Amino acid sequence: MLLSWLRKRRRRKIRARSFPPHWLDIIERNVAFYGHLPEVDQRELLGHIQVFLAEKRFEGARGFVVDDEVRVTIAAQACLLLLHRDTEYYPLFTSIVVYPRAYRVPTSQPVTADIQIEREAVNIGESWYRGEVILSWRDVKWGAADIHDGENVVFHEFAHQLDDESGDSDGTPNLGKRSRYIAWARVLGDEYSALLEASDRGEATLLDDYGAESPAEFFAVATECFFELPVAMKRQHPKLYQQLQGFYHQDPASWFDDHA
C-alpha cells in the first residue's frame, strides 16, 4: 500500500511539471492526432507522456540512435490509449527497442510433427508479455503522420500490452466490472468470427484481415481501426465501436466527423 501511494504521488508530481517546449514541437510536428484532441485531453496526454518517459527505457537496435524525437513520438501515441483511464502505465514492460526500419526475425512453420520449415519474417513491431516492445521507427513515424489509413504500429503493440494486463493474451483486457465481460465476449466474438469468414472468402473489410489470426490480434487491429477509422467503424460496426468506446473511455469519431 505504501509503495503504491508513493508511486502515485511521484507520478502526480511528474504530470504537474511544465512540459518541455521542444517536446511539444515534436508532437505538433509528428503526431497528427494531437491537433484533433480537445484541449483538456491534450493537457492530460502531456502529463501521461512525462510519466511514460520517466519510467520507460529506450534502446536503439542495429546502431539506431534514439533521440527525443523518437522517444516523444512513440510516447505520445502509446499514451493516447491511456486517456480517461486509471492507469499503471503499461506495468508489464520497461524497455522499448527501436529499429530504424522493418526488421527480419527467424520463424519456424510446422509441416508435420517432425518437420519444420525455417524462414525469416519481416516485422514492424512486436509486444512480449513481461518483456519488450519492439518498433520500427520508420513505421512509427508513418503511423503518426497518416491518421486515417487504419494502421498504427504503436497503437497495435500497446493494445497487446493492455490485453496482457488481464493475465492472458486473449483479446480481452481488464474490463473492470464483471458484467462487462459478457457483452464484450459476445460482440467481439461475433465480430472476430465475421472477420474470419470474410478473410476466408477473400473479401475486403474495414478491419485489417490480420485480425483474423487470433482474438489477441483482433483486439489490436480493432484498436487501430477505432482510433484511425472511427467514423467508418461506428457506422459499419456500431456494437464493436461501443465496446471499444467503453473500454478506452474515448469517442474518436467525434474528433473526425468531417471525415465521415
pLDDT in tens, the chain (260 residues): 778 889 999 999 999 999 999 999 999 999 999 999 999 999 999 999 999 999 999 999 999 999 999 999 999 999 999 999 999 999 999 999 999 999 988 766 665 666 666 677 889 999 999 889 999 999 999 999 999 999 999 999 999 999 999 998 999 999 988 889 999 999 999 999 999 999 999 999 999 999 999 999 999 999 999 999 999 999 999 999 999 999 999 999 999 865 44
Which pLDDT does position 259 carry in this prediction?
46
Residues spanned by the domain of 29: 12-146
**CA 40 → CA 48, 132, 144, distances in Å?**
13, 31, 21
Which pLDDT does position 210 carry in this prediction?
96
55 and 131 inside one domain: yes
88 and 43 inside one domain: yes
Q: Measured in Å, how far apart are the chain's first and last C-alpha atoms?
A: 47
Report how far residue 109's alpha carbon sits from residue 125's, in angstroms, rounded to the nearest whole number. Answer: 20
Q: Is residue 39 part of a domain?
A: yes
Largest Cα span, the chain: 60
Q: Is residue 161 part of a domain?
A: no
CATH number at residue 64: 1.10.472.150
Q: Is residue 159 part of a domain?
A: no
Beta strands in the chain (DSSP E): 57-60, 95-99, 103-110, 116-123, 125-127, 132-136
35 and 133 inside one domain: yes
178 and 142 inside one domain: no
Q: Which of 96, 118, 146 is the last residue of a domain?
A: 146
- 133 forms beta bridges with 96, 127
pTM: 0.93
Q: Is residue 3 part of a domain?
A: no
Q: Which amino acid is at 84?
A: H
Neighbours of 185 (CB within 10 A): 15
Residues sharing a CB contact under 8 Å with residue 55, sequence separation 6 or more, in sequence order:
89, 94
Q: Is residue 29 part of a domain?
A: yes
Q: Which amino acid is at 19?
A: F
Report how far residue 117's alpha carbon sits from residue 157's, in angstroms, rounded to the nearest whole number. Answer: 27
User: Phi/psi of residue 152, each to 5°?
Assistant: -155, 110
